[in-house]
């Protein structure tokens, strides 16, 4: 079959993977300021921005979850991508049985941090140069929040056919 439009075995069209544990949102960069004396004898300040350690750790967890599932494959540069994220939060221990049932039936959903946009940002940023060249390839996305007895983040990425 010599059809150039045919599906190539090494081409990623869609992938679903799970990041275990509580949902985590992208934190703002932190800034440290160092004072020093310049060669002119005047006091100077040097500011340096860095990514918080918890953010770096979670980004690594997302990368590992993707790599374990993808086995080294990634979407092609220029592919238009659709990202769907479902974040499952812990049910608080003090929750009544009635309320717990409603949470598990998705009738009550989390309205607490992390915010949906920070969940999407940490997942998409983590996958730069891992699942795709850059997250600017994401042309459609959705983040949904639910309660579960098994906290996790489920991620589905699929190529959008033009």
Q: Walk me through the domains of the chain, giving residue ranges and CATH numbers.
A: 14-159 (3.30.1330.70)
From CA 83, how far away is CA 117, in angstroms rounded?
Answer: 13
Residue-wise pLDDT tens digits, 82-120: 999 999 999 999 999 999 999 999 999 999 999 999 999
Strands 81-90 and 152-159: antiparallel
Surface-to-core class of residue 138, CB atoms within 10 Å of its CB (0-12 exposed, 13-18 middle, 19+ buried): middle
Q: For the whole prediction, is pTM greater than 0.95?
A: no
From CA 129, how far away is CA 132, in angstroms rounded?
Answer: 5
Identify the CA nearest to 25 among candidates 106, 119, 89. 119
pLDDT of residue 16: 97
Residue ranges of the chain with per-residue pLDDT less than 70: 1-11
């Amino acid at each position: 079959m010599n059809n150039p439009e045919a599906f190539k075995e090494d081409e990623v069209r869609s992938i679903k993977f799970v990041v275990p544990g509580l949902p985590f949102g992208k934190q703002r960069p932190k800034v440290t300021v160092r004072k020093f004396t310049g060669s002119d004898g005047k006091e100077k300040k040097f500011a340096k921005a860095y990514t918080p350690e918890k953010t770096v750790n979670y980004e690594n967890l997302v990368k590992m979850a993707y790599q374990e599932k993808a086995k080294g494959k990634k979407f092609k540069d220029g592919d238009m991508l659709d990202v769907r994220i479902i974040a499952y939060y812990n049910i608080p221990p003090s929750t009544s049985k009635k309320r717990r049932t409603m949470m598990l039936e998705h009738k009550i959903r989390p309205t607490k941090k992390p915010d949906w946009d920070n969940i999407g940002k940490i997942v998409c940023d983590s996958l730069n140069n891992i699942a795709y060249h850059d997250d600017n390839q994401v042309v459609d996305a959705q983040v949904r929040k639910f309660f579960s007895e098994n906290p996790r983040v489920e991620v589905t990425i699929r190529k959008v056919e033009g």
